Structure 1
Amino acid sequence: MNNNSKVLALKYRPQVFDDLIGQEVVAETITNSIKADKIPNAYLFTGIRGIGKTTTARIVAKGLNCSKGIENLCKKDLCENCKSIADASHIDVLEMDAASKTGVDDVRDLIEFSRYGPTSAKYKIFIIDEVHMLSKQAFNALLKTLEEPPAYLKFIFATTEIKKIPITVVSRCQRFDLSRIKSTELFEFIKKIKDKENGNVSDEALKLIVKISEGSVRDALSLLDRGLLSLEQNTELDLNAAQKIFGYFDKSQLINLFELILKGEEKKVINIYRKIYDQGVEPKVFINDFLEILYYYKNINSLSLESTNFSLNDEEFSKIKEISNQVNSEILILFWQFAVSSLEELDIVSNQHLSIEMFLIRLMHLSSIKLKQDTKKEQTSHNIDDRIQKKKKENEFDDNSRVINQIKNVAQEEKHKPDVKQEVEAIDKNLINSFEDLLDICTQKKEIKLKYELEKNVNLVKFERNRIEISFNDNLDKDFVKDLSSKLFEWTSERWIITFSKSKGEMSIKEKQKNRKDKLINEVKSSETYQMVMEKFPDAELIDVKLNGKEEDKND
């Protein structure tokens, strides 16, 4: 076959270790083992499609059988062995596709054939592609030969499904995990191929090819081949043309679409989506690209332009970063959940195009509701900030008064310096004047278990200075009274009497909170806003209601 008539993936298939890209560690390890004459009984290459598993297997076979040796491995002027291996016609190097020969009888024939030594080469080599397709019985038949083969026999396995291979087989092989090719490395590689083929392709189009290929060299070369054949001579394959050929669309359209969704401009959003759909983009592809953009919006501050694998250009990266700082993370997470559920929905509906339009409309209504809630939160936070600032000023005034008094009485303090412990105790004595104060001090002192018992299992009957009367439920901890008494003495330096009453007492704090929550939920369910939400999202469920600061104060 004329070399120019071959597809690019075959025409530029690596022939020696130096031609491999992205697998330098694997190549160096294998080369060193052959040089040191420490060759394993079996090699096992695993990784995604199109990164060089079978190609590496052939190069290893050449390295073992080349007439010139591993250090002078044939590259241009091929020896008889290397030429036959490259053409898959060598009598001592047998390539077998396990997908078509999966049975135990096929493996028995292989073992029978292995009893005879090599005819014209140093080693007899069996290359088994997609080895995970062999049956369980076939693997078992291979085990003994694999563990103790004749000195002249070597196995080379290739697979994309390493987990499907029995561990007993994997343990008898020297395993090599071929890594996915880095985007920058793959870009430089196909750019060189484009120059050799005199192809007129823009860098942006090449970057799109790299993105679509997902680290597979074969996929990248196949896409490049398709792109070069799709255009007339002297016509450049630019980004727009590549997007049409490969069924992808401009990411900037999706970024603009997202911005308009947040603004709630329904007509513009639908129009942009229809333009994208008219370009031939499938609804599932659209949703997957939308999810990708959501990921960038959520994590853009922890990413660099290079780490996006050419999915974004400089302008798009900057725009996403600018918009992401104005969007609440909760909205992005909700959008993600809706997008994933819509992706599942596409398999059910007959008209996927209409389903996507409804998905975008739902997102607009969802973002508008969330933004209204966020506005209320901001107002609440402003109120809280004002109260904090006011409290700080009062404290500063009190502190200044104390400082002045201390300056006036320096001499007296030096003469009558009080015991620090007594001073602390005097302050702490006045901390607990109510049941609420007791809960607060538990929070401050990080007595979480004690606070839990007080809120959940205790019903207050009466609270007085140094005396607490309570009733309780069956879940109250048996050491509660002892723990509470010791802590009260520690905090106030005074003995407290805790008594149990037959009276039912007040509801527990948790019961009060639950009743208040149920009341608020019922009030909200009768509101117009709730009715509007349920009309838009009939499957929605109201779980909780949060009030702003002023309303909480009123309820209290």
Structure 2
Amino acid sequence: MDDTPLPAEDTGATEALMPGLDLPATGPTPGYQVLARKYRPDTFEDLIGQDAMVRTLTNAFAAGRIAHAYMLTGVRGVGKTTTARLIARALNFQTDGIDAPSMALGEKGRHCDAIGRSAHVDVMEMDAASRTGVGDIREILEGVRYAPVSARYKVYIIDEVHMLSTSAFNALLKTLEEPPEHAKFIFATTEIRKVPVTVLSRCQRFDLKRIDREVLTDHLDRICGLEGASVERDGLSLIARAAEGSVRDALSLLDQAIVQGSDEDGPVSAPQIRDMLGLADHARVLDLLEQTLTGKTADALAELSSLHDAGGDPVVITRDLLDYVHATARVKAAGPGADLGEAADTVARIVTLAEGQTLGQLTRMWKILLTGLDDVRNAPDALAAAEMTVLRLASAASLPPPEDAARLLAGMPRATSPASGAGEAPGKPEPAPASATGSASAAMDRDAAAHRALSAPEAVAQVEQDAPAISGPQTWEALMDLLREKRDIGLQSDVERYVRPAVFKPGSFTFQPIEDAPRDLAQRLSRRLLEWTGERWMILADGSLEGGETWSERRLRLKAERLEAARHDPAVTEVMRLFPGAEIVKIRDPQPTAETDTDATTEKRA
């Protein structure tokens, strides 16, 4: 037997082979932990905004009706993985006094810490985004049949389960159908539609909701208090809005916002957070919407450009416009008392906007902005796409409300003005007339036939007896007088040259545009009448109609008629006889009228 003593351990060699293990006994100084990890819910009571799910699980655990598989779905950051770990802890809850599944996790159980750190041997977490194949699932299925090592249940948490391949899902089905008593499955996904229905039918499903903006703002405020940070409430609301209901996103943004200020500067302000987020000034976006809806397109485009220069993202600006149109529609439907979660002055401005629009118009604007948002996101020039969206919105705002257009096509009188809700009580839209729901082409044919039955002079002078009172010109001639009075030379010239009037009623005007007429003539005239009269006019251009003579043609006709009348005047006839070769140069009235405000001048050829 060799009694030679063994050599002492070569500590230096060990240190050389394993660097970094000579750590101080006290351990390393812990680094900063981000808020999203630091304030991850530790109990079901800490979960915010998921009361329905917590209530259902609590009742199920109390009744002993615990499912073998759960499917958690929702957008990013609402707590799917956190909830899965809490359920795993509840299933395996065990203390000195409790040895049964329990939703009351206030007291730490034997397995809670290990499960919370994803380090428990009986709770396996798998990311299906990186392990999608059938082989990965087979590893799980082979271990399912063995009993847990120390816990009550073996729990399999599979995140992003929709990423599994078809063959992997098929391999999982049989086990989900008849799992062992000691096995539980918890799935999490952001794309529930990609999960096969055969899997969904074998799971108890919970849809985790986006967190309400006010609830999330309160949550951020509490965390600021715990962190000793000072951030204005309006700034926290901006963060909650940008997070779109995701707690994790909100906490990540709060981490960034807290360092925007210092103790000397005071609380972090809303403008600082707005700059951090790249958001446009919310109030200025409301200015943009007001300018757009009132036809001030030049001002609207200038405002949009100014917001962009100030750092506003065109996508965010368009989304803000969507939010305001949605808020305006809510006020229109539910009245001024609708809960908008906005400041009092902002609510007052939204109420004013709602008074000038109908629900049909607001719905049309919503669809335009929704399409425009996709355009802005995908366009090579986001600002140009946002400008085109604003222009489309302005054009739609100048069109008659859809309900009035349906009435016109049906040959029915126009409803009341938009300010009164177009004849609708809040929340109770008036049903469309039966004739308006039929064929649109048939209605247009009937309308055109009615117009053709009237001669142009009588048609333009007609005023419907039961039409509601409305300010502004009451006749076609009065409309032309208004154009001259307002000195909108471009619009006046286009109306005189291109408009063949068909039907004129206070508040609505239908005309036949002649060839080469500007395509936006009806919209321009409608916008100007809204500015001048305060009433929304329904202006329709219909090329299928047979309108009367244009104002320019009328003026030439009157001039020719006056000239012909002058030639037959006995005194003029005698003068022309006495002076051969004489010409009629001008015809003057002692008191010029509106119809003859232009001198009639012609020449008589020798």
Tell whether the structures are fold-level matches, with TM greater than 0.5.
Answer: yes
Change (3 A) 1:152 1:337: closer
Asked if 1:526 is matched to 2:514, the reply is yes
Question: Residue type matched to 2:172 in 1?
Answer: L
CA shift for structure 1 position 224: 1.3
1:181-216 deviation digits (Å, cap 9, x = unpaired) = 233322222211111011111111111222222222
Residue in structure 2 matched with residue 242 of structure 1 by the alignment: 273
Residue in structure 2 matched with residue 287 of structure 1 by the alignment: 318
Structure 2, unaligned stretches of length 5 or more?
1-27, 417-432, 455-499, 503-509, 525-539, 551-606
1:51-105 deviation digits (Å, cap 9, x = unpaired) = 22111111111112122244585546x4441110011000111001111111111
Residue in structure 2 matched with residue 11 of structure 1 by the alignment: 38
Find 2:173's aligned residue among 136, 139, 143: 143
Find 1:161's aligned residue among 191, 195, 198: 191
Find 1:258's aligned residue among 289, 299, 305: 289
Counterpart contact for 2:398–2:523, Cα < 8 Å: no
Distance 2:288 2:329 in 1: 16
Give percent identity, aligned residues only. Answer: 34
Residue in structure 2 matched with residue 210 of structure 1 by the alignment: 240
Distance 2:434 2:232 in 1: 66
CA shift for structure 1 position 163: 2.1
Asked if 1:276 is matched to 2:289, the reply is no
Residue in structure 2 matched with residue 223 of structure 1 by the alignment: 253
Which structure features the higher share of helix residues?
1
Counterpart contact for 1:147–1:172, Cα < 8 Å: yes
Counterpart contact for 1:266–1:364, Cα < 8 Å: yes
Question: Residue type matched to 2:304 in 1?
Answer: Y
Change (3 A) 1:367 1:246: same
What RMSD, in angstroms, separates the aligned Cα atoms of the two structures?
4.2
CA shift for structure 1 position 294: 2.2
CA shift for structure 1 position 222: 1.6
CA shift for structure 1 position 107: 0.7
CA shift for structure 1 position 283: 1.8
1:300-348 deviation digits (Å, cap 9, x = unpaired) = 23358997664x3221011110232134556545544554454454467
Change (3 A) 1:82 1:270: same
Question: Residue type matched to 2:39 in 1?
Answer: Y
Matches within 5 A, 1:97-108: 97-108=127-138
Matches within 5 A, 1:382-393: none
Find 1:23's aligned residue among 50, 56, 65: 50
Matches within 5 A, 1:93-492: 93-234=123-264, 235-303=266-334, 310=341, 312-327=342-357, 332-333=362-363, 335-346=365-376, 350-357=380-387, 359-360=389-390, 363-364=393-394, 367=397
Aligned partner of residue 271 in structure 2, secondary structure: helix
1:512-545 deviation digits (Å, cap 9, x = unpaired) = 459669x989972217864554999xxxx96578
Asked if 1:63 is matched to 2:90, the reply is yes
Distance 1:260 1:447 in 2: 36
Change (3 A) 1:218 1:258: same
Distance 1:92 1:24 in 2: 28
Change (3 A) 1:165 1:192: same
CA shift for structure 1 position 247: 1.6
Count of matched residue pairs: 420
CA shift for structure 1 position 167: 1.9
Question: Residue type matched to 1:108 in 2?
Answer: R
Residue in structure 2 matched with residue 496 of structure 1 by the alignment: none
Change (3 A) 1:308 1:98: farther
Distance 2:284 2:198 in 1: 52
Asked if 1:81 is matched to 2:111, the reply is yes
Distance 2:261 2:206 in 1: 40
Counterpart contact for 2:44–2:103, Cα < 8 Å: no
Aligned partner of residue 113 in structure 2, secondary structure: helix
Counterpart contact for 2:162–2:192, Cα < 8 Å: yes
Change (3 A) 1:149 1:509: closer
TM-score, structure 2 as length reference: 0.60
Greater mean alpha carbon deviation, residues 87-96 or residues 36-45: 36-45
Aligned partner of residue 43 in structure 1, secondary structure: strand
1:252-303 deviation digits (Å, cap 9, x = unpaired) = 1122222233444455433322221022222222222222222223332335
Distance 1:60 1:323 in 2: 48
Greater mean alpha carbon deviation, residues 328-337 or residues 312-321: 328-337
Structure 1, unaligned stretches of length 5 or more?
386-445, 457-507, 552-556
Residue in structure 1 matched with residue 7 of structure 2 by the alignment: none
Counterpart contact for 2:81–2:188, Cα < 8 Å: yes
Question: Residue type matched to 1:180 in 2?
Answer: R
CA shift for structure 1 position 38: 3.0
User: Highest relative contact order (Cα 8 Å, sep 6+), 1 or 2?
Assistant: 1
Asked if 1:48 is matched to 2:71, the reply is no
Residue in structure 2 matched with residue 467 of structure 1 by the alignment: none
Aligned partner of residue 217 in structure 2, secondary structure: helix
Distance 1:334 1:325 in 2: 16
Counterpart contact for 2:73–2:189, Cα < 8 Å: yes
Aligned partner of residue 215 in structure 1, secondary structure: coil
Change (3 A) 1:296 1:99: same
Counterpart contact for 2:132–2:164, Cα < 8 Å: yes
Distance 2:338 2:31 in 1: 36
